[in-house]
């Protein structure tokens, strides 16, 4: 499975251009305009973090804090991302990174794989029962451990707990 959704982190930061501060709002305008020009829905750009800092050790010299904002952008084409980054003042970009990947058809893939697993389990049960000279009957029970449950871990934990309890008795 090849991921078709890419989540990218973009961190913008204010900076001093000589004595003039380039505001975060100007950098944001550039980012929003670039996202819109790339044809990406504005819902796919979200703010993930805010921060500020002061480079001067003495506040009397420079009382202004420099702001920073981190965004999360959802794209399906990295070429669009390149165009977005090129449209933003390079000094205002602190960093970019790929945060995660996803697959838009993951739920249908999970369903398909569960069906295949059930059919394989039925086939296995059938030849095991036929080896005993009987026929496979109707389904009695199907357990689905969910997507995030690792059942052998729980089973081992339960067995160890039971053994500890019997040792105490």
Per-residue model confidence as pLDDT tens digits over 12-37: 998 888 888 899 999 999 999 999 99
Please give the span between the terminal C-alpha atoms of the chain, in angstroms, as a whole number: 51
Q: Could you tell me if 67 and 24 are in contact, meaning their C-beta atoms sit under 8 angstroms apart? A: yes
Length of the chain: 169
pLDDT of residue 9: 95
Q: What is the DSSP string of 70-89?
A: EEEEEES-HHHHHHHHHTS-
Q: How far apart are CA 49 and CA 12, in angstroms?
A: 10
Q: Could you tell me if 101 and 5 are in contact, meaning their C-beta atoms sit under 8 angstroms apart? A: yes
Q: How far apart are CA 94 and CA 10, in angstroms?
A: 8
Which H or E run includes 94? Answer: strand 93-102
Stretches where the chain sits below pLDDT 50 are: none
Instruction: Identify the DSSP state of 103.
Output: -
Burial class of residue 169, CB neighbours in 10 A (0-12, 13-18, 19+): exposed
Considering the entire predicted model, what is its pTM? Answer: 0.68
């Amino acid at each position: 499975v090849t991921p078709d959704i890419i989540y990218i982190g973009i961190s913008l930061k204010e900076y001093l251009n000589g004595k003039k501060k380039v505001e975060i709002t100007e950098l944001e305008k550039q980012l929003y305009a670039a996202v819109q020009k790339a044809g990406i829905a504005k819902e796919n750009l979200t703010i993930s973090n805010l921060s500020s800092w002061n480079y001067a050790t003495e506040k009397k010299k420079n009382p202004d804090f420099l702001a920073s904002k981190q965004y999360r952008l959802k794209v399906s084409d990295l070429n669009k991302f390149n165009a977005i980054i090129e449209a933003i003042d390079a000094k205002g970009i602190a960093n970019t990174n790929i945060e995660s990947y996803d697959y838009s058809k993951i739920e249908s893939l999970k369903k398909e794989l569960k069906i295949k697993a059930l059919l394989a389990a039925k086939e296995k049960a059938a030849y095991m029962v036929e080896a005993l000279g009987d026929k496979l009957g109707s389904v009695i029970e199907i357990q689905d451990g969910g997507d995030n449950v690792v059942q052998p871990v729980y089973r081992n934990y339960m067995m160890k707990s039971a053994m500890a309890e019997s040792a105490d008795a």
